[in-house]
Amino acid sequence: MKTFTNLVVYILLGILWLLVKTLPYRAQMGLGAVLGRVLLHTVRTRREIARANIGLCFPELAARDQEKMLRENFRSLGRGVFETGISWWASESFVRRLVTVEGVDTLARALEAGRGVLLVGGHFTTLDISCRGLGTAIDFDVSYRPFGIAPLDAQVIRGRQRGAGVAVAKDNFRLLLRRLKQNRAVWIAVDQADTSQGSVDARFFGLTAPSASSVARITQAHGCAVLPLFFARRENLTGYLLQIEQPLQDFPSGNLIADAERLNAVVEKHVRQIPDQYYWIHRRFKGQPDPYNQPEKS
């Protein structure tokens, strides 16, 4: 079974490589939107998770507006597949033309303290191309979550290291801490459900969600700065905007729940700016009662 899975992944990667290398950017975005519509009607479990998340986070929207956001989100997910391919295989000059990075001076000032920087943000559909684009402006490392599929994990590492210096596995805290001690900037996502030991229940969109306390613990122990990172696809499909924001002040506070909620608030602010580009297909609100009523584990 593993051999068959690996073969399928190799074939899909080959198809994506061919399309990225031969199609113009706008054609890729158009094909990505079509792919998103296909996914909307075929990946039922993820569609229902996204529908539930949107309903939970935007209860003020009418049902038709929630469904519109769902459709737009899947178009964004489809485009994200091609954007990931661009991040892996496009030339440096091509990526530079697409991406605008703001706040480089803010990061430079934060690094002057010599204790490293955590760039924190959420999971958006443009994550990989933003990673590649950020590397055109700054030197940084990035975390990643292994899929457990060898050829895909290998490609993710190669792809992310085209923009970043070192790709750090999400659970490799020793490497993360070592890079911070070397006064590196490390980009990590802080918004997915964390049910590991040491996690806390913190508010996200006004709802209780299992949240990581690791950023507060690391910052408390090592004194690194924490800077939010916002990234988005421009509405007119002319490229991408990345903004390194000002460091969080009085962080950590010593209260793990309050600190987790502060990071959740950063992500929530970003989501509200571009809700169609957020990664809604993740089961963010795990717990009892289960709002998804699905057996998914991620």
Q: Give the residue extent of every domain in the chain.
A: 2-277
Residue 211's pLDDT is 96
- Give the mean pLDDT per block of 10 residues along the chain (298 residues): 91 97 98 98 97 97 98 98 98 96 98 98 97 97 93 94 94 94 97 90 96 95 96 96 98 97 98 98 86 63
Residue 37's pLDDT is 98
CATH T-level assignment (fold) for domain 2-277: Glycerol-3-phosphate (1)-acyltransferase (3.40.1130)
Assessment of whether the complete model's pTM goes beyond 0.85: yes
Token readout for 15 is 């198809």
Measured distance CA(260)–CA(33) in Å, rounded: 34
Residue 197's pLDDT is 84
Measured distance CA(213)–CA(186) in Å, rounded: 17
Q: How far from each other are the two terminal CA atoms of the chain, in whole angstroms?
A: 21
Q: At what angle do helices 127-134 and 150-160 cross, to 10 degrees?
A: 40
Q: Per-residue DSSP letters for 258-285?
A: HHHHHHHHHHHHHHHHSGGGB-TTS--S
Measured distance CA(51)–CA(222) in Å, rounded: 40
Length of the chain: 298
